Each structure stands twice: as C-alpha cells, then as structure tokens.
Amino acid sequence: MAQSKRKLAMSKYKYLLPFALVTSLFFLWGIANSLNGVLISHFQLALDLKRWQAGLVDSAFYFGYFVFAIPAGLFMNKFGFKKGIIFGLLLYGLGAALFYPAAEVRVYGFFLFALFTIASGLAFLETAANPYVSILGEPEGAAQRLNFSQSFNGLSIIFGPLLGSLLIFTNNKFNAADLAAMPADQAEAIRIAEAQTVQMPYLGLAAVVLFVALLFWLTKMPEPTQPSTSGKRGWDGIFKNRHLVLAIVAQFFYVGAQACLWGYFIDFKTTLSPDHHFFLVEALKPFFEWMAGSSEELTPQRWAGFHLTFSFLLFMVGRFFGTWLMSFIQPQRLLLAFSAVSLILFITAMTAPGLTAVVALLSSSFFMSIMFPTIFALGTKNLGEQVKLGSSLIIMAIVGGAVMPPLFGLLADLTGSYQSALFLPTLSFLVIGFYGWKGHEIKTTD
C-alpha cells in the first residue's frame, strides 16, 4: 500500500514541471500579442501610415497562425509536443530579433515579416500548449484547467501596453499633422528616432524566449493522449465533428473581435476622450508619473496605453474568476452569459459619448477573458488521437485577427468614426453566444 502511494505521488510530480513549463508559454505569447496595439498606434507616426495600413500589424501577425497552424499540427502528430514547442520558440525568438534590422532600414514590410515570423512560432506553441493542458488530467476538468493556464496569458498581456507605453512611446507630443508642417529633414529625423525605440524591447524579448527554449530542451516531457470513443486517426472524418467545426467559426469571430478591441483601443481612447480618464486609472497617476519620470511625460498616448493595461488587468481577473465559476457553472453556460454581457458593452461603446464609451470598451475585456480557452476546450472534446489536428484547425481560426482589424480600420476611415466601425466586432458575440448555447453539443454529421 505504501509503495503504491509513493508511485502515485511520483506520477503526479512527474507532470508538475512539464505543466509549469507549458503554462509559461501562455505568458510568453501574451506579451507578443499585447504589444500589437502599441505598434499599431506607434507605426502610424514612425512610418507615416494610415489607420488601415497600421491595422496590417494584426493581419501579418494572425496570418502567421493561419499559415502555420496545420503544419504545426502535422509536425507534432509526427514528432510530438516537445519538439514542436522548441521549434515554435526558435521561430518566436527569430522574429523578435528581426525587429532590430527592420528598425534600422525602417521598411514596414520588414516589420510585418518579423511579426509573421513571431506568429508562426506562436502557432506551434498554441497548437501544442492548449491541447496539452486540456488532456493532462481528467476530461471533465479540461475547460477549467485550460482557463487556469490561460490566466497566465492574461497576466502577461498586462505588461505589454505598460512596457510599450514606457519603452516604445517617446515623450514627444507630435502627431502626423505636426510632422507634415515641419521641414522634411526634421520630420524624417523624428520618424527615424521613433522607429528605433522598438529595437531593445524586442531584443530583450528574443533573449527570454530562447532561454525558455533551452529549458524545454533540458526537460523530459510526457506525451499524454486523450480518450476517444470513435477511434479515428488522422483526417478521417474530422470535419464531421459538428462541435469542432462550429468552434473553428466561433474562434474566428472571437479573435477578430479581440484584435479590433486591443489593436485600436489606444486610438479609440485618444480620439474619444484624450484628456479625461477612468477614475480607477486616474488614481494610479502617481505610479505612472514615477515610472515615466514626470507628469509632463504623460502624453495622451501613454495615458491610453495605461488604460489598455487596466483593460488587460480586467482580462486577467476575468480568467481567474471564470475558472472559479466553472467549479459550479458549466463552461458553455458561462460562455453564453459572458457573450451576452460583451454584446451589451460593445453596443454601449458604439452609442455612448466620450469616456463612457471608452470605459464600456475597456470593461469588455473582463467578459471576453474566458472565451478563447472555453471555445478551444469544448471544440477539441472527445477527439481522441485527432486532438492535435483538431487543435491546429482551431488555432488556424485565429486568422480572424488578420481579417477583421484592417476592415475595422477601413470602416473607421470611411465613416470618420471608430464608434461606427465597432459594428463589425459587435456581431462576433452573437456567433460566440450561439456556440455556448447550442453549437458546443457533440454531434457528428453524415
């Protein structure tokens, strides 16, 4: 009896380190994701871009997921989770390092290629980490377990806009109109200096990512499997799983809505309420002054970045709170409820004036927090040996983040209003709500 207890304890300990390492990946890709909103705002000045052109930051980023998600699934189907994770981390580190030469030549296409390379690596990481966490335990706890690990993704995205506001945004208060009125050589010098502020933050990120890759290389990783009643392998009948197909659709719309919200939030804030701030963010002004150096350094862009940081804080809290709620509320019901609240908040942001609209949009991150991991866990349920391929298909749906932001930016340019453009991501919550209501049910089609 004592020997069997020792074996059980050793078995649990064996999975602890791999679980912790895989959970660290959620933290790492959250950093890369949350910096995109800073880049969209920053590049408009540094590279003289229109709104829709800046939105291509998200397009390049999420298109990398689309291109490499299925290759990632096939790669890990053959070589396993560990090799897939290490390869993904190497791609991530390479893409981050490419920001240095991209800033030297100041070519937008080079930046987009670097972002594409980062996202290609993240496609491997997410294709591996999400199912790994889901199947490393009892199937009934998959959604709760995945929401817990994804909570560390929520923790990491707090740091993106905060670090970006302090390390990437400078203390100048110039806008595109100011630079247009300057002598060409003076405006060019300012743009060059602005572009180069991304170099050191991304080099530091590359170093951290490569260190984590080394840790994975040195660690033994188990290859857990998911139970299945179908016994199918490969692509055989995988698209007959209705709950998987609808999860792909729901994930497309969720990531698209998230990318629009986070990618354009800084511009939304500086346009609708540049000088008035949410009282909870205003209360942290002494802290922001200390970090920035003085109150004069708190430009409207930096204030907007701090508001985005607060929104990410709500996102993280929502993940932990949602994980706790799933102890006694079914994940699909919670998904439906949070989708309904998000819909109301986005409609408020479309119609309310000034700071009220900003706060509504800021608050929506809390309710969007559980959507990605819950859709993922419900969509990959009962797939058995097809879980890696099913995972790659849902990760491929992240291309929604490539499609919707430039459309959002184009609508904002055509209508002259960010609020009107919110109509596009608002529709997403109807699709997500349906998945929580009926779409998650496990059925096979003929």
Q: Name the residue ranges covered by the structural domains of the chain.
A: 15-439
More confidently predicted of 40 and 333: 333
Task: Please state the rounded mean pLDDT for residues 46-52.
Answer: 74
Closest to 320 in 3D by CA, of 151, 155, 141? 151
More confidently predicted of 39 and 430: 430
pLDDT band at 87, cuts 50/70/90? very high
% of residues, the chain, pLDDT over 70: 83
pLDDT band at 9, cuts 50/70/90? very low
As a CATH number, domain 15-439 is 1.20.1250.20
pLDDT band at 360, cuts 50/70/90? very high
Residue 388 pLDDT exceeds 80 = no
Residue 7 pLDDT exceeds 60 = no
> What integer pLDDT is reported at residue 3 of this predicted model?
47
Residue 230 pLDDT exceeds 70 = no
> What integer pLDDT is reported at residue 126 of this predicted model?
83
More confidently predicted of 127 and 3: 127
pLDDT band at 171, cuts 50/70/90? low
Residue 97 pLDDT exceeds 90 = yes
Asked which of 6-15, 139-148, 208-217, 226-235 is least confident by mean pLDDT, the reply is 6-15
pLDDT band at 430, cuts 50/70/90? very high
Residue 231 pLDDT exceeds 80 = no
More confidently predicted of 233 and 168: 168
Tens of pLDDT, residue by residue over 106-147, are: 888 899 999 999 999 998 988 888 777 766 666 666 667 777
> What integer pLDDT is reported at residue 177 of this predicted model?
65
Asked which of 13-27, 28-42, 119-133 is least confident by mean pLDDT, the reply is 13-27
> What integer pLDDT is reported at residue 189 of this predicted model?
78
> What integer pLDDT is reported at residue 6 of this predicted model?
46
The HSE-up count of residue 144 (CA atoms within 13 Å, CB side) is 13
> What integer pLDDT is reported at residue 375 of this predicted model?
94
Residue 365 pLDDT exceeds 60 = yes
Query: Of all helices (H) and strands (E), which one includes residue 321?
Result: helix 300-325
Residue 213 pLDDT exceeds 90 = yes
